[in-house]
């Protein structure tokens, strides 16, 4: 195998919803080159390829997953860039080079640019930006998962989304080539970076200089809001549905529609619509992917019937 691997690897422990069967084979690359090699290895054999980052926003299937699951969460390196190694728009130096200074805490000045590999944890980066007094990632406070997954789905919430700070993204193309795509060449939309089959390997994030206290307070406020209105201690996959076009839903979000349809607390097996927020399905213990998907379908069908609004799933299946 091209890198560390596991056979018959349990998936539920790698999912924030704690649901999922077994991966026939899991490759766990720990460097960008190993990721390239792992993906090439799978493709050369014509095997189905399943990418797995932090296991957030995803419903992993029950049973045995055939083909190969390639994880990205071991690619965790983060750099803080200081001039002259890198300037915006300057491609003379490689911002991902091993020679680039690692992030140094506490703050010691420097340009607010973070270079991150796909496996860096989003909560970890929010904490790092707080410790540095760099603004731009506060809105992602409380969002689990890896930055690679977050970039692929344009993670975010009412206080902003990840692509607001993406300067460029390093992708592995289907033909095996590596490419740095500047923000201008990408067209991210609500909860989707629209990168197609490309695999996110890393990103350059452009933040803004602020103050530790200000960034820290924003993070604290957002986390408090989430604790107040969302199920934060139960296992979940985050919001199940995208918020619909407010013109079609009378300004109501997906959570409110599920709530008004009377579905809060509704359960199938170990899956339950959170009594706290209608757009979350929580695992009350022993839920299967089949339970979760059946409950999501019940929510979708009920909301469509009651309000004529067709909710689109946000979680990846
Ligand atoms: N509401 C209800 N009943 C509910 C849930 C919500 O009436 O069961 C009402 C609330 O009272 C509020 C409105 O709906 O007036 C909006 O609710 P909330 O503030 O919870 O925001 P949201 O639109 O449901 C969005 C994102 C979340 C993100 C929060 C905060 C989507 C689909 N959801 O939720 O993202 O955490 O804002 O930033 O965009 C996620 O993507 O996984 C996610 C959870």
156 within ligand 1 shell (Cβ under 6 A): no
270 within ligand 1 shell (Cβ under 6 A): no
Do 190 and 87 sit in the same domain of this protein?
yes
Alpha-helical (H) ranges within the chain are: 32-44, 122-132, 147-153, 212-229, 246-249, 254-260, 289-307
What's the CATH number where 169 sits?
3.30.465.10
179 in a structural domain: yes
266 in a structural domain: yes
Domain boundary among 152, 180, 214: 214
157 within ligand 1 shell (Cβ under 6 A): yes
317 in a structural domain: no
184 in a structural domain: yes
Ligand 1 center to 241 CA (angstroms)? 10
Do 207 and 127 sit in the same domain of this protein?
yes
Q: Which long-range contacts (CB under 8 A, 24 or more apart) does 260-263 make?
A: 260/306, 260/307, 261/299, 261/302, 261/303, 261/306, 261/307, 263/298, 263/299, 263/302
Bridge pairing between strands 22-27 and 64-71: parallel
What's the CATH number where 269 sits?
3.90.78.10
Domain boundary among 55, 71, 87: 71
Q: What pLDDT score was predicted for residue 98?
A: 72
Confidence bin at 112 (pLDDT 50/70/90) = confident
Handedness of CA 17, 18, 21, 25 (dihedral sign): positive
Q: What pLDDT score was predicted for residue 94?
A: 75
Instruction: Give the rounded percent of residues in the chain with a pLDDT score beyond 70.
Output: 92
Q: Is 279 exposed, middle or buried (0-12, 13-18, 19+ CB in 10 A)?
A: buried
Residue-wise pLDDT for 150-206, tens only, equals: 999 999 988 889 999 999 999 999 999 999 999 999 999 999 999 999 999 999 999
Q: What pLDDT score was predicted for residue 87?
A: 56
Do 110 and 154 sit in the same domain of this protein?
yes
Say if residues 47 and 76 touch (Cβ distance below 8 Å).
no
Handedness of CA 74, 199, 136, 218 (dihedral sign): negative
Q: Which residue has the tokens 């969302």?
A: 230
278 within ligand 1 shell (Cβ under 6 A): yes
Do 45 and 89 sit in the same domain of this protein?
no
Other beta carbons within 10 angstroms of residue 28's beta carbon come to: 20
Range of the domain at 54: 5-71
What's the CATH number where 35 sits?
3.30.43.10
Q: How many domains does the chain divide into?
A: 3
112 in a structural domain: yes
Do 154 and 181 sit in the same domain of this protein?
yes
Bridge pairing between strands 78-81 and 64-71: unpaired
Q: Is 16 exposed, middle or buried (0-12, 13-18, 19+ CB in 10 A)?
A: middle
Do 121 and 180 sit in the same domain of this protein?
yes
Mean pLDDT within 107-115: 72
CA of 155, closest atom in ligand 1: 41
Confidence bin at 78 (pLDDT 50/70/90) = confident
Domain boundary among 45, 71, 97: 71
Do 124 and 189 sit in the same domain of this protein?
yes
CA of 242, closest atom in ligand 1: 32
Do 63 and 82 sit in the same domain of this protein?
no
Residue-wise pLDDT for 115-135, tens only, equals: 899 999 999 999 989 988 899
- C-alpha span between 82 and 197 (Å, rounded): 32
- C-alpha span between 180 and 24 (Å, rounded): 32
245 in a structural domain: yes
Residue 92 pLDDT more than 90? no
Do 205 and 291 sit in the same domain of this protein?
no
Do 113 and 192 sit in the same domain of this protein?
yes
256 within ligand 1 shell (Cβ under 6 A): yes
Name which residue sits closest to atom 9 of ligand 1, judged by CA.
256
- C-alpha span between 12 and 273 (Å, rounded): 19
Q: What pLDDT score was predicted for residue 107?
A: 55
What's the angle, vertex CA 156, arms to CA 155 and CA 160, rounded to 5?
135
Residue-wise pLDDT for 22-50, tens only, equals: 999 999 999 999 999 999 999 999 999 99
- C-alpha span between 236 and 292 (Å, rounded): 10
Confidence bin at 84 (pLDDT 50/70/90) = very low
Do 90 and 54 sit in the same domain of this protein?
no
Q: Using the CB atoms, write b or e for 96-129: b if 16+ within 10 Å.
A: beeebeebeeeeeebbbbbbbbbbbbbeebbbbb
313 in a structural domain: no
The SS3 assignment for 109 reads coil
Nearest to residue 176, comparing CAs of 68, 37, 71, 29?
A: 37
236 in a structural domain: yes
Do 105 and 203 sit in the same domain of this protein?
yes
């Amino acid at each position: 195998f091209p890198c560390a691997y596991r056979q018959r690897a349990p998936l539920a422990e790698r999912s924030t919803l704690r649901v999922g069967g077994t991966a026939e084979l899991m490759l766990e690359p720990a460097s960008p080159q190993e990721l390239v090699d792992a993906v090439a290895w799978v493709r050369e054999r014509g095997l189905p390829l399943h990418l797995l980052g932090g296991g957030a926003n995803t419903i992993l299937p029950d049973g045995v997953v055939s083909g190969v699951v390639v994880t990205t969460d071991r690619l965790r390196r983060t750099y803080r860039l200081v001039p002259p190694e890198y300037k915006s728009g300057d491609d003379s130096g490689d911002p991902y080079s091993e020679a680039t200074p690692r992030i140094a805490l506490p703050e010691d000045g420097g340009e607010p640019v973070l270079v991150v590999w796909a496996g860096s944890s989003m909560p970890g980066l929010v904490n790092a930006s707080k410790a540095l007094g760099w603004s731009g990632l506060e809105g992602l406070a409380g969002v689990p998962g890896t930055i690679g997954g977050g970039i692929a789905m344009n993670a975010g919430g009412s206080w902003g989304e990840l692509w607001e700070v993406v300067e460029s993204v390093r992708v592995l193309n289907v033909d095996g080539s590596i490419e740095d795509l500047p923000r201008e060449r990408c067209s991210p939309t609500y909860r989707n970076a629209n990168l197609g089959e490309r695999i996110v390997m890393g990103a350059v994030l452009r933040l803004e200089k602020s103050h530790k206290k200000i960034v820290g307070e924003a993070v604290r406020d957002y986390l408090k809001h989430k604790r107040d209105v969302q199920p934060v201690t139960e296992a979940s996959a985050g919001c199940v549905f995208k918020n619909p076009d407010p013109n079609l839903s009378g300004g109501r979000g997906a959570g409110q529609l599920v709530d008004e349809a009377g579905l809060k607390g509704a359960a199938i097996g170990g899956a339950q619509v959170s009594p706290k927020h209608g757009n979350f399905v929580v695992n009350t213990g022993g839920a299967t992917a089949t339970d979760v998907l059946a409950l999501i379908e019940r929510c979708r069908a009920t909301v469509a019937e009651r309000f004529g609004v067709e909710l689109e799933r946000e979680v990846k299946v």
